[in-house]
Amino acid sequence: MAVDPILWDIFGISENAGEPLSFRATGAFTCSGLPIYEELLDGPEVTVSDAVIALRTIADNNKKLFQEVLFGTNFSTLLAQHPNHRERGAYAVTLVTSLINDGHLDAAANLASAYESGELKSCQDFWCQGVSFHRLKLDWLANAKVLERFTL
């Protein structure tokens, strides 16, 4: 929940933080979520009630899995290790933003620089007024370092 406001601050659209939480799933310029478990629910006889029961069963059966995954390591590491990120650069925007959230500003800047230069490829990037997200992030990080020097 902490990464979207950082993304919005970088884009200069901090007012998005005032939107309902559902905006994070449906709005523009949000960080991608990380799939931990996937299961297909379908069938011709599935009713809404059947779907609710099936979802509840999945949640109950995977509670331990979610706890192990989510409490076993930090979000940035989960993103970096995910096969879709390693193979296609998925979650690049979310990963760099998550590194900022974790306080790893140098690692975030190095990664953003690698994406900006093309050294690393990402299957998704945001652009704002012709400037890539990674360029904006590098500028944002540079400004944060300047402000940090003048903070008492």
Enumerate the domain spans of the chain: 3-38+76-149
125 contacts 132 by C-beta, under 8 angstroms = yes
pTM of the model: 0.71
Residue 10 reports pLDDT greater than 80: yes
For residue 107, the model assigns a pLDDT of 92
Distance CA 5, CA 14 (A): 7
Distance CA 14, CA 3 (A): 12
107 contacts 139 by C-beta, under 8 angstroms = no
Distance CA 84, CA 80 (A): 9
134 contacts 115 by C-beta, under 8 angstroms = yes
Whose tokens are 């200069």? That residue is 12
pLDDT, tens digit (0-9, with 9 covering 90-100), for 20-65: 877 777 777 777 777 777 777 666 667 888 878 888 888 888 877 7
Q: How confident is the model at residue 145 (pLDDT cuts 50, 70, 90)?
A: low
